Amino acid sequence: MNFLDAVPAIRRLETSRDDLLAIDVVGHVSAADGENLFGLMEAAYALHQRIDVLVRLVDHDGVDWANIAEETLKQGTVHATEYVGRCAAIGEPDWTADARHLLRASPSIELKHFTTEDEAAAWQWLGARPTGKQ
């Protein structure tokens, strides 16, 4: 195994808001990376009644959805509808239409796509800024 194989595709970003879960999604997302993402979200839900989410796609190369446990996906969807207020998606592809379809039970989640060039607008929309090493 190459030491680069162990680098996670989901990387948490430090922000100026403790109720904002911001992540980079880099390259290909394995099932283990997907499970890690749901774990990060569950940790945020445990600390806050409502959170916002920022997802920045970097050289995105797909997700192994079929290999993520069905129960994890179901629970993740239910919890997102209960806890997420706003979600900013930065980069390509724009997956917000698919997310709206999946989360149709919760019209209260605001999903908005931003191009990579408009990243500053995404942070502003969420009332936050990145802090620390990005």
Query: Count of domains in the chain?
Result: 1
Of the ranges 16-20, 54-58, 100-104, 121-125, which one carries the lowest mean pLDDT score?
A: 100-104
Among the listed residues 56, 70, 71, the one whose alpha carbon sits nearest the alpha carbon of residue 25: 56
Is a pLDDT exceeding 90 seen at residue 4? no
Instruction: Write down the pLDDT at residue 101.
Output: 81
Query: Could you tell me the CA-to-CA distances from 73 to 6, 21, 64, 92, 105 in Å, in that order?
Result: 23, 18, 12, 22, 15
**More reliable by pLDDT, 68 or 104:** 68
Give the mean pLDDT of the chain: 90
The whole-angstrom separation of Cα 110 and Cα 38 is 19
Residue 37 domain flag: yes
Residue 25 domain flag: yes
CATH number at residue 12: 3.30.750.24
Determine what percent of the chain is predicted with pLDDT higher than 90: 68
Residue 132 domain flag: no
Whether the pTM exceeds 0.85: the reply is: yes
Contact 41, 54 (CB under 8 A): no
Residue 10 domain flag: yes
Determine what percent of the chain is predicted with pLDDT higher than 70: 92
CB atoms closer than 10 angstroms to residue 1: 5
Residues whose CB is less than 8 angstroms from the CB of residue 115 and which lie 6 or more positions away in sequence, other chains included? 90, 91, 92
The whole-angstrom separation of Cα 53 and Cα 42 is 12
Is a pLDDT exceeding 60 seen at residue 2? no
Residue 81 domain flag: yes
Containing structural domain, residue 83: 3-125
Residue 131 domain flag: no
Q: What are phi and psi of 45, to 5 degrees?
A: -65, -35
- Token pair for 105: 């039970």
| pLDDT tens digits along 70-114 | 898 889 889 999 999 999 999 999 999 888 887 776 667 899 999
**Residue 34: its H or E element:** helix 31-47
Residue 133 domain flag: no
Residue 107 domain flag: yes
Of the ranges 13-17, 75-79, 104-108, 130-134, which one carries the lowest mean pLDDT score?
A: 104-108
